[in-house]
Amino acid sequence: MSVLSIVGARPQFVKAAVVGRALERAGIENMVVHSGQHYDDNMSDVFFRDLDMRAPDYELGVGSGSHARQTGETMMRLEPLCARIRPAAMLVYGDTNTTLAGALVAAKAGVRLAHVEAGLRSFDRSMPEEINRVLTDHVSRWLFCPTETAVRNLAGEGMTQGVHQVGDVMYDAVLWFRRKAGERGSDGGTTPVSPNGAYVLATIHRDFNADDPDRLRAIIGGLSACRYPVVLPAHPRLRKQIGAFRLEGGLAAGGIRMVEPVGYLEMARLEMRAAVLVTDSGGVQKEAFFHGLPCVTVRPNTEWPETVELGWNRLVGADAQEIATAVDAAAAPPVCGELAFPFGDGRAASRLAGILAREL
C-alpha cells in the first residue's frame, strides 16, 4: 500500500509529520511530494528539520505566483508523477493552492483522495482558501474531519459517505512537539522578545490584509496602540508590502519588532510565552487555543468557530481602535471561558491511518 502525501505550505508540513508517522506504523508506504509553494529555508526547510521529517521524496519546485499559476504548475508537474507511481491513494491537507491542485489531479487520474481537515467552512466565498476546501471536499473519497462542526458542514452540502470525525491532527502535533519547544525555550530561543516577558505575538499574511494599504496601516496602528510590545514574524510578502506602502515608520514608532519567519518549534515557543496573539491565519488561531493563549483574529469570519464560542478568540475588523481594545481586553482575565477541547484527544493521525489501512 502506498500513498502520495501532497504538501506545499508550513501548516501542511506539520500535519504531514504526524500523519506520516501514523501511516508508517500502519504499514502504509508514505511518499511525500513538496510542491514548492513555500520554498525558502525560513518558510520550508527549517520546518522539516524542526519536525524531524525526512526530506520530501519528490519536489516540484513550483515557487510563488498567482493562484492560477501555482495551481496550474502544480497540476502539470504532479500529474506525470502520479501516473508513473500509481499510488493507492493521495492525501491532501488543508486549503492551499497545493491542496486544490492535488485534489484535481487525483480526481482526473482516478486516484482515491483523502482530505485531511475536511469540512471546514468560513462561509466566505471571497477567500481563495474557501474555494479550495469546498472543491477538494467534493472530489474526496475520504473526508477526515477535525470537529463535529465540520461533519455538520459536509452533511449540509450532501456529503455523508466517507466522512470520519477523527479529531484534529494539529492537536496531535502540539502534544507531540510541545516538550521539544519547551526545551528550545530554555536557552531563550532565537527570537528577541520583550525583556519583561509580556508581549503580543502577531502574524499577518492574508492578501486582503497584506495587499491593502489602508487595512494594513490600520492593523499596524492597532498593534502600535497595544499596551504590550509586539513581535511580528513577517512573511516575505508582508515585509515587501510594508516597504511598498512605506509603513516602516509606524512599526518603529509603535514598538513593533519585525523578525524573520520562524520554524514550528520557535513559533510554538513564542505562542507559549505570549500574552495575546493577533493573526489572520486559520491554523495559528487554533494553535493559540491549544496553548491556552487568547487570540484576536483580524478577519470578519473564521473556519474555527469553536474557538470563538468558547471565548478564546475575538473577530475584529481592520480598525486600529477596535484591534487595540480587543487586544487589551483579551489580555485581562476573565475574558476566556473554561478551556475545552472539541478537537479530539491527540490520536487523530492514528485513527486516520487505521481507516486507510483497512480500506486500502
Predicted confidence at residue 244, as pLDDT, reads 94
Q: What is the pLDDT of residues 217-247, one digit of tens each?
A: 999 999 999 988 999 999 888 999 999 999 9
pLDDT surpassing 90 at residue 193: no
Nearest residue to 4 via CA among 60, 50, 45: 60
Q: Tell me, what DSSP letter sits at residue 53?
A: P
- Locate cell 511518499: which residue? 31
Q: Is 34 a catalytic residue?
A: no
3-state secondary structure of 344: coil
- Strands 112-116 vs 29-34: parallel, antiparallel or unpaired: unpaired
Q: What percent of the chain has pLDDT over 90?
A: 74
Cell numbers placing 122: 468560513
Predicted confidence at residue 32, as pLDDT, reads 96
Lowest mean pLDDT across 157-161, 220-224, 328-332: 328-332
Alpha helices in 120-206 (DSSP H): 128-138, 148-156, 169-185
Helix or strand holding residue 301 (H, E)? none
- Locate cell 510542491: which residue? 35
Are the C-beta atoms of 212 and 242 separated by less than 8 Å?
Answer: no
Among 34, 138, 205, 291, which one carries the catalytic annotation? 205
176 against 209, higher pLDDT: 209
Predicted confidence at residue 188, as pLDDT, reads 46
Predicted confidence at residue 29, as pLDDT, reads 97
- Strands 230-233 vs 256-259: parallel, antiparallel or unpaired: parallel
Domains of the chain and CATH, by start: 2-168+344-359 (3.40.50.2000), 178-330 (3.40.50.2000)
Predicted confidence at residue 336, as pLDDT, reads 46
Q: In angstroms, rounded to a whole number, what is the distance separating the alpha carbons of residues 355 and 148?
A: 18
